[in-house]
Chains A and B, each alone.
Chain A
Amino acid sequence: MTTRRFQGTSLGPLLPPFDFAQNGFRQQPRELRKSWIPAVLLMLLLLPSHAVGAQITLDSDEQFRFAVQTMEKSDYLRAVVEFERFLRFFPEDKNVPKAKLLIAQCYLKAKDYESARKSVHEILNVYRGTLVGGKALFLMGESYYEQGLYEEAERYFKGVIGAYPEPELKNSAAYRLGWIQMQTGKWQEASETFKTVGAGSPLFPNAQDLSVKSLGGELLPYKDPTTAGALSVVPGLGHVYCDRYKDGLVAFLLNGLFIWATIEAFQEDQEVLGAVLGFIELGFYSGTIYSAVNSAHKHNRKLKDDFLKGLPDAVDLGIFATKEGHIGLALKFTF
């Protein structure tokens, strides 16, 4: 524990330094004593009582605890300020790496992903290859995961697995990798990845459960985007395939009217009008195919998201702020 003391009054710096204990009044010249005594007395009279002698004692543990408490209250950006204050005044404290990780995590919680990644980069520059570095790399992956950038996230979690042998870190990264594979529809791969989570890990029971449940993702009633697009050769049929009957009817009528108008225009020797109508219809026709394919993708995404919402995610990054001050992956089971 380190302690720093600060004078509580703003008038402090205005007073000349004077060590009463060492020098004492008796050793001072009479003139100096004469000029100082009334001035000091006058100042003491003018100062409010609470300002005299008020001082702040900044204790490293207390400051760290306060920052963690601020974080626990979900006031993440204020917590960042408190952690930075801690780092500023106690740069040599044992909790410095933890504070740096927590700053990154605060940004993550505040959904400020760019700042989170910037903080992680700073940690990696100092702690790469150590356990703290591994945790920072995990947070980097998590920042991409939360943003829905699964390709990048996968790269970082694989990096953690490959470069950091610490079992819990490895297990957590494998667990998250499984989630990424589920998010990207690789259900079989996800099932296999969940099986790699070690038996000693607190994530093990949940991972085992997910290795079975993830396979259910394959059985969801997906719509095939290619089929939807192919059926849209007859405008509206692709929408019907995606259970969007009204959209299908609108698509059929709109395209039908434009095709009919185009043919009529050409038959009436209105070539320019026919060409304009034909051009517009070309846009509508291709737009209708796009719309059917898009509808299938949106349908599948909704199915997958609903399925994943029903699965418990045990990784909770509320993790770094345990009361015992552990840096580690704590658990939150959602049933």
Chain B
Amino acid sequence: MKTAKSLTSTLLVLGLLILGSSGEASAQASPPRDEIGGSNPALWLVNLYRDHISPIDGDRCPSLPTCSSYSVQALKKHGFFLGWMMTVDRLLHEGQEETKVSPVVYSGGTWRIFDPVENNDFWWYRQATRHDD
């Protein structure tokens, strides 16, 4: 009985989160202030962090773009699930070990690891290009 209750609660929460999430298309269709998050709870959470926590916590991200900007870009580009996975990936690899495989650039008065979204989806994602000749 207890197991069934736990399972129902889990499925309910998962269902709500999945229903509330949105992919690339809906992220693009949202109004200009889509940084608010629109119907994408992950974007909403990231922006909550950017607007209210980060200004107090300070800029501690060693990468460029910053982790929150990266997260917003990944969520917009690849939707909720892949965006989330890529955000987790970024949070895990933002340390010194990343400098072995990514360039270090001077930006905003400090040296940062240049690690845009394209640096982490290059092996499976590519933009469609025109073939008109």
Contacts and interface: CB of A to CB of B under 8 A. Distances in A.
Interface of A: 121, 124, 140, 144, 149, 152, 155-156, 225, 239, 244-247, 250-251, 254, 266, 269, 271-272, 274-276, 278-279, 283-284, 286-288, 290-291, 294-295, 297-299, 301-302
Interface string B1-32: 01001100110111001000000000000000
Contacts of A288: 88-89, 92
Contacts of A144: 129
B96 interface: yes
B131 A302 contact: no
Interface in B79-110: 81, 84-89, 91-93, 95-97, 100-102
Contact of B88 (A124, A149, A284): A284
A153 B2 CA distance: 61
Contacts of B84: 283, 287
A244 B10 contact: no
A244 B133 contact: no
**What is the interface of chain A mostly: helix, strand, loop, or mixed?**
helix
A247 B93 contact: yes
Given A266-B6, A294-B120, 19 more contacts: A121-B133, A149-B129, A247-B97, A269-B2, A275-B6, A276-B13, A279-B10, A283-B85, A283-B88, A284-B88, A287-B91, A290-B85, A290-B88, A295-B93, A297-B123, A298-B102, A298-B119, A301-B122, A302-B100
Given A271-B5, A295-B93, A290 B86 contact: yes
B9 A275 contact: yes
A275 B13 CA distance: 6
A21 B114 CA distance: 72
Contacts of A244: 93, 97
Contact of B89 (A121, A275, A287, A302): A287
Contacts of A272: 9, 13
B81, B95, B97, B101 pick with most chain A CB within 10 angstroms: B101
Shortest Cβ-Cβ A-B pairs, 8 listed: A287-B88, A271-B9, A291-B89, A275-B13, A275-B10, A297-B123, A298-B101, A287-B85
